[in-house]
Amino acid sequence: MTIKSNAASVRFDAVTKAFGDVVAVDQISLLIEPGKLVTLLGPSGCGKTTTLRLIAGLEMATGGQIFIGDRDVTKLPATDRDVAMVFQSYALFPHMTVGENVAYGLKVSGVKKPDAQARSQDALNLVGLADLGDRMPSELSGGQQQRVAVARALVLEPQVLLFDEPLSNLDAKLRRRVREEIREIQQNLGLTVIYVTHDQEEALAVSDDIVVMNNAVIAQIGTPRELYEVPSDAFVADFIGEANILDCEIESVAGDMAQVRLGDIVMQLPALNLAPGPAQLAIRPRRVDLHAEAVAETLPGTLLKATYVGTHMEYRIETAHGEIFAISGDVDDLHHANSEIRVGFRDPGPVLIPAA
């Protein structure tokens, strides 16, 4: 394997991008370490693509600074940045063969033809398309085109490799396979990869770190596990997996633990730098327990709906603190709709987040 990695870090320093009145990226600061795969995740229109294009040099920041490695690239156009990008539409040049597509970057940077051919063949081998160099892009399947786009980006051994929703044109099965392939290549070569998606499952599956964006700012940065288990606010909690958000009261804080009251329940939870006063709890549906008879430290409620979905049961419960959604793996011992019920929480379960 002769494709090497020149992985470099990417740093954003209070970067802003405005299109006229629309601020697509607002004062973002961010450090992406070399050799990591980081996903940008967030709802439609939150500025993911814009962030990616800022790194590529396809958009110019209206404020702040961008570094790749140690170099300030803020004013550098795309041509002069050592960054490659895989587009959502793949953007394969339809008038060139697969081989010509992959060799294009080498050709325009003045690599000799035999060299360029050998290196693009290496890249095609790497993505498992060794024999398809003479085909036209229109003669490939969607998954193959996607891999050609990856090979075309890899062959330049870029410092940073960018993917903008690379899998959204593929069907569900292929999506799983290709994302594993991308992850494997990234880990084998030690590439710095920044990956945009709005599919949270995809993000959780492939990333070292996830950057959750909302309304042009970063909502939270962390490993998949951190984001899932310790979301920093209601938006993240709800966006990554589902969560019940309930209002609660922090009664006191001692060290890094807080005493939290929710109705009759009093819990000791990590304080996460919150001060006493109103706050909220985020609780994953699988962390909710239902009891038919009275148990200490539970909330009373009415079971509104019970749905059987094969692998598990889904319940909706009305309580004095709002509606709670619960998932139970126990499909044999059923609770029935309209019955009175007690709702308890597992440990670890509820996470404190700031009041809305």
Partner 1 sequence: MNKFVALWLAVGLIGFFVLPWYTTDDAFVSFTWLRDGWPLDADYAPAIIQIFAHGKIWLAPLILFFAAVVPVLRGNPSDRLFAATLTFAGAGGLVFLLLQGFTIGIAGWEYASLEALFGPVERQFGMGAGAVLVAAAFLFLLTQGFAARGYVGGDLFVAGSIGLIIALITAFVFFPVSRILVSAFQDNQGVYAFSLFAEKISDSKIWGLRCLSENVSCGVAWNSLMLAVSVGIGSTLLGLAFALVTTRARLKMGKAFRVLTVLPIITPPFVIGLAMILLFGRAGVVTQFMASTFDIPPTRWIYGFTGIWLAQMLAFTPIAFLVLIGVVEGVSPSMEEAAQTLRADAWTTFSTVSFPLMRPGLANAFLLGFIESMADFGNPFVLGGNYGVLSTEIFFAIVGAQNDQGGAAVLAIVLLAFTLTAFYVQRRWVGKKSYVTVTGKGDAGLHAMLPKRLTWLIFAIVIPWTFMMLVIYCMVMFGGFVETWGRDHSFTMRHYADAFSVTTGEHGLIWSGAAWNSFWTTISISAIAAPLTAGLGLLTAYLLVRQRFAGREAFEFGTMLSFAIPGTVIGISYILAFNIPPLELTGTGIILIICFMFRNMPVGLRAGVAAMSQLDKNLDEASLTLGANSFTTVRNVILPLLRPAIAAALVFSFVRAITSVSAVIFLVSADYHMATAYIIGRVENGDYGLAIAYSSVLILVMLAAVSLVQLVISRRKLGRRTAVAGAEQAGAVAT
Which residues contact partner 1 (rule: CB under 8 A)? 56-58, 60, 75, 77-79, 81, 83-85, 87-89, 91-95, 104-105, 108-109, 135-136, 138-139, 152-153, 156, 162
138-177 residues near ligand ATP, rule: CB under 6 A: none
- Residues in Cβ contact with 30 at an 8 Å cutoff, skipping those fewer than 6 apart: 10, 11, 12, 211, 218, 221
Q: Which does 108 bind (CB under 5 to 8 A by kind): partner 1, ligand ATP, Mg ion, none?
A: partner 1
Q: Which stretch binds ligand ATP (CB under 6 A): 43-51, 257-265, 314-322, 343-351?
A: 43-51
Mark 187-206 with x for binding to ligand ATP (rule: CB under 6 A) and - for no binding.
Answer: -----------x--------
Q: Hey, which bits of 42-137 come out as E strands?
A: 63-68, 71-72, 83-86
102 by DSSP, 3-state: which?
helix
Cβ closer to ligand ATP: 44 or 79? 44
Decide which of Mg ion, ligand ATP, partner 1, none touches 351; Cβ closer than 5 to 8 Å per partner kind. none
Choose between 64 and 263: whose C-beta lies nearer to partner 1: 64
Q: Which is nearer to partner 1, 142 or 348 (CB)?
A: 142
**Residue among 49, 200, 207, 328 that touches Mg ion (CB under 5 A):** 49
| Contacts by residues 68-75 (CB-CB < 8 Å, ≥ 24 positions apart) | 68/8, 68/9, 68/10, 68/11, 68/159, 68/160, 69/8, 69/9, 69/159
Q: Which tokens belong to 51?
A: 């962030």
CA angle 55/199/16 to nearest 5° reads 30
Q: Binding to ligand ATP (CB under 6 A): which residues in 1-40?
A: 19, 22, 24
Burial 44-81 (b: 16+ CB within 10 A, else e): eebbbbbbbbbbbbbbebeebebbbbeeebbebeeeeb
44 binds, among Mg ion, partner 1, ligand ATP, none (CB under 5 to 8 A by kind): ligand ATP
For residue 192, the minimal CB distance to partner 1 (Å) is: 15
State which H helix or E strand residue 120 sits in.
helix 113-126
Told to check if 44 binds ligand ATP by CB under 6 A, we report yes
